[in-house]
Amino acid sequence: MPVTDLLERNHKLYGDEVALVELNPTMAETRRTTWKEYDLVQSTEPTPYRREITWSVFDEKANRVANMLLSRGIKKGDRVAILMFNCLEWLPIYFGILKTGAIAVPFNFRFAADEIKYCAELAEVHVLFFGPEFIGRIESIEETLSKGRLLIYVGDGCPTFAENYRELVADCSSQPPKILLTDEDDAAIYFSSGTTGFPKAILHNHESLSQAAEMEMRHHETGREDNFLCIPPLYHTGAKFHWMGSLCAGSKAVLLKGTTPQQILEAVSKEHCTIVWLLVPWAQDILEALDRGDIKLEDYDLEQWRLMHIGAQPVPPSLIKHWKDYFPNHKYDTNYGLSESTGPGCVHLGMENIHKVGAIGVPGYHWKCKIVDENGTEVKQGDVGELCVKGPGVMTCYYNDPKATAETIKDGWLCTGDMAMQDEDGFIFLVDRKKDVIVSGGENIYPVQIENFLSAFDKVSDVAVIGLPDKRLGEITGAIISIKEGMTCTEEEIEEYCQALPRYKRPKKIIFAEVPRNATGKIEKPALRKKYGAEQLVAQQIEG
């Protein structure tokens, strides 16, 4: 079933119920111009800035976008990009693109101008929707970007080189376009994180999107009375497909444009959210704020909050143990996935398996998993190998890149590039990224294991472990450590704590610094290797 059918169903069954809420705590003193009735239901609350739309308005807005695009010559299979921060317009634009039969192409809002240009050319984009935050970046490449492409601006103060979204959709029909869609039709292109250079374009069909929606609903038992708090960026498969559980269930969701502990707990409290997906740094921030006494749980109404789940990166078991100290009644889940597997859920822990914290889990709904060696042969239980997954959400291909596609999809199996092992109960543990494994003196060292160990130290806020060049051993283990606010720590304390590790796993170099993470919470290890690897080489040359 095409995923657009779910939106149209919700319009018919739950049309007058609220579908989406946008909360922007940073706009307490700023009011936008009044929108026309067809655009949204405007809240009258002065602070925080809040907007909402019903399922019927959501679907009608998507239809207007679709009919506008069709009137401008967009047809089935064309590519239409979105470069916007999370807002109430994001998802109706996305679904409007899908309703034309075109392919939605969300852009990472952290893309620099050259990356925007590169991805627009790679995906052969015909139209680009962009928000006010990106005027400067788009203007710097407008001369080449606008050739053969329609630029549509979503916001106030439309620049002269673009067309105004509001004016374009104002008089368009709110009736659904008569475009036949099937599960096999191409639906969306998502981009890889680009950790090894410019990102790859990942193509998915409608079956991928629909299965992700059903899988999310089943994994987290999302019901009609649930309310999902969505904080991560919608351009990423993680946020998008976690929200699609709400789409499948016909339940409400809140888009929060804020990540501080106070903003998150305030949103959960005032909007009565029941499901919250957090990235590791945000969960750590909440715990540290509670530890310091900066926030107090009794100041918020949190009784309805039933599930906290984390994904996008390995989760330190110590974090969940500490979380349960403050939230003993919370159910917990973690999800594993890649953009190539329609985001989260091809492996998931399961809410009933909190005793297995540290594992990424078992195969998700309608998914299969195996762990293989370098020859593609399954390893025996307990041995480390590459995790491969197979299911209805595997990408169609890397767009216009048959070589990379053939290297990644083998006999229907998606080779993830992640090293994993399976315990005696069948639970899969992520060991590390294949490219992040440190080889020191011929010994394989898996950084995630050391990161989990160091995360349990009570002074450590965040940690990244990388390989640094070494003349004798090839690589040595370096730990970049961020210390909790208000605390001090010495190398000697870290070294003493690490005595509990086997000697070969102990960090040989300790660096106190901030740990950089991307918009989805993943550690930017290539940047760390580039910075500290270069410093290590210089130090060795001086010593030599």
Write the DSSP string, 134-194.
GHHHHHHHHHHHTTT-EEEE-SSS--TTSEEHHHHHTTS--SPP-----TTSEEEEEE---
- pLDDT tens-digit map of 326-375: 999 999 998 888 889 987 889 989 889 888 888 889 999 999 999 999 88
Helix, strand, coil % (nearest 5) of the chain? Answer: 35, 25, 40
Alpha-helical (H) ranges within 348-440 are: 402-408
Reference 86, options 219, 243, 209; nearest CA is: 243
pTM: 0.81
| Phi, then psi, of 320 in degrees rounded to 5 | -70, -40
Cβ neighbours of 11 (radius 10 Å): 20
Q: Check if the beta carbon of residue 369 is closer than 8 Å to that of residue 379.
A: no
| Structure token pair of residue 290 | 């509670």
The sign of the dihedral angle between the CA atoms of 195, 200, 201, 207 is negative
Domains of the chain: 4-230 (3.40.50.12780), 437-543 (3.30.300.30)
User: Cα separations (Å) of 265 from 45, 190, 260, 290, 413?
Assistant: 19, 30, 9, 11, 40
Angle separating helix axes 237-249 and 4-14, nearest 10 degrees: 40
Cβ neighbours of 162 (radius 10 Å): 20
Reference 154, options 166, 169, 137; nearest CA is: 166
The sign of the dihedral angle between the CA atoms of 116, 122, 123, 126 is positive
| Structure token pair of residue 408 | 């990644």
Q: For residues 415 and 398, give the distance between their C-alpha atoms in angstroms, rounded to a whole number.
A: 13
Q: For residues 339 and 237, give the distance between their C-alpha atoms in angstroms, rounded to a whole number.
A: 6
Q: Check if the beta carbon of residue 110 is closer than 8 Å to that of residue 84.
A: no
The sign of the dihedral angle between the CA atoms of 144, 147, 149, 153 is positive
* Whether residue 48 has a cis bond before it, omega within 30° of 0: yes
Which is it for strands 362-363 and 509-512: parallel, antiparallel or unpaired?
unpaired
| Structure token pair of residue 423 | 């315990």
pLDDT at residue number 289 = 93
Q: Check if the beta carbon of residue 255 is closer than 8 Å to that of residue 25.
A: no
Q: Is 540 helix (H, G, I), strand (E, B) or coil?
A: helix
Mark the ranges of the chain whose per-residue pLDDT is less than 50.
Answer: 28-47, 195-196
Q: For residues 487 and 288, give the distance between their C-alpha atoms in angstroms, rounded to a whole number.
A: 11
The sign of the dihedral angle between the CA atoms of 53, 280, 226, 217 is positive
Q: For residues 446 and 167, give the distance between their C-alpha atoms in angstroms, rounded to a whole number.
A: 54
Q: Catalogue the long-range contacts made by 369-372 (C-beta closer than 8 Å, 24 or more residues apart).
A: 369/428, 370/413, 371/420, 371/421, 371/422, 371/428
Q: Is 322 helix (H, G, I), strand (E, B) or coil?
A: helix
Which is it for strands 227-230 and 252-256: parallel, antiparallel or unpaired?
parallel
Alpha-helical (H) ranges within 294-366 are: 317-326
| Structure token pair of residue 151 | 């630029």
Angle at 134 between CA 530 and CA 48, to 5 degrees: 105
pLDDT at residue number 48 = 54
pLDDT at residue number 433 = 67
